[in-house]
Amino acid sequence: MAIKRIGIASRCDKPEIIEMVRQILDRFSSKVKIFVSTHTAEVLGIEGIPVEKMRGEGVELIISVGGDGTVLRNIAKMKDPLPILGINMGTLGFLVDVEPEGALETIEEVLYGFSYIERMRIDVFLNGKMLETATNEIAIMSAKPAKIIQFEVYVEDCLLDSMRADGVIFATPTGSTAYAMSAGGPIISPRVNAIVIVPVAPFKLSSRPWVIPSDSEITIRLSAPKKEAVIAIDGQTSYRIRPDDIVKLKRSKFPARFVKITDACFYERVQRKLT
């Protein structure tokens, strides 16, 4: 085997997911060293290790068993993400390429060597302090349901737009097929280094989606007094922001990495997922 150490991280709330993890362990434990994430290991009654410590143990790739949310959570735990191989135990699955029925055979092939593609991520700063890094998107929404917020978006200190809207989404090409697409944004090829900015239900008809270079520094300021907002990162974590807060977004130097298992065209893959 070319690969000597792998990790497994999964959702733990579905019996079929735990069963898939057991099958992987039964099939490959004699061939490679397998490290299992802490929560998954607890369900299995074995010793585990946090995902964020797997790189230090020499793990070369992580098998993520679940859906897109599981993949995003696993990536978020790592400062410099290891390559991810996603097994689709969720629903749509844009970030998980392997279906359960072909999972063991695919893993067998990958263990002899693999290549991966890199996807840009975005570092999120609040008042100069880094919060997290987003793989899909950053969404800024009103802290009160059914209320609009007013905010200004600057790109490299140049005012892009002053908006009144339910919110705004800043998405990577990976995230362009997620929340941003649902809000009317364009689908961006992963080969394009860009950030898409999508207003959510804007009050002005002139507030339209933008596609800007990925190396741009973006600044967001709330402009209505006494109105708070929420910044959500990859739909996983959220933080309150006030009118005097400053949010900045910058391209991360640590990309997400996805194991390449097929030569399928990106455009055909999107059409297949959305059909």
- Edge-to-edge strand order for the sheet containing 129-134? 129-134, 122-126, 246-251, 218-222, 149-155, 158-165
Options 1.20.140.150, 3.30.530.20, 2.60.200.30, 1.10.1780.10; CATH of 122-251:
2.60.200.30
Q: Count of residues for the chain? A: 275
Specify the pLDDT at position 33.
97
Domain 5-120+255-274 has CATH 3.40.50.10330: yes
**172: which DSSP letter?**
-
Full-prediction pTM beyond 0.75?
A: yes
DSSP 3-state percent helix, strand, coil across the chain (nearest 5):
25, 35, 40
The Cα angle at residue 257 between residues 253 and 262, in degrees rounded to 5: 145
Question: What digits encode the pLDDT tens for the residues 117-129?
Answer: 999 999 999 999 9
Type and span of the H or E element at 40: helix 38-44
Domains 5-120+255-274 and 122-251 share a fold: no
Q: Please list the active-site residues.
A: 68
Q: Which of 30-39, 90-99, 218-227 has the lowest mean pLDDT?
A: 90-99
Specify the pLDDT at position 275.
74
Between CA 150 and CA 162 the distance in angstroms is 7
- The structural domains of the chain, with segments of one domain joined by +, span 5-120+255-274, 122-251
Q: What's the pLDDT band for 63 if we cut at 50, 70, 90?
A: very high
Question: What digits encode the pLDDT tens for the residues 66-88?
Answer: 999 999 999 999 999 999 999 99
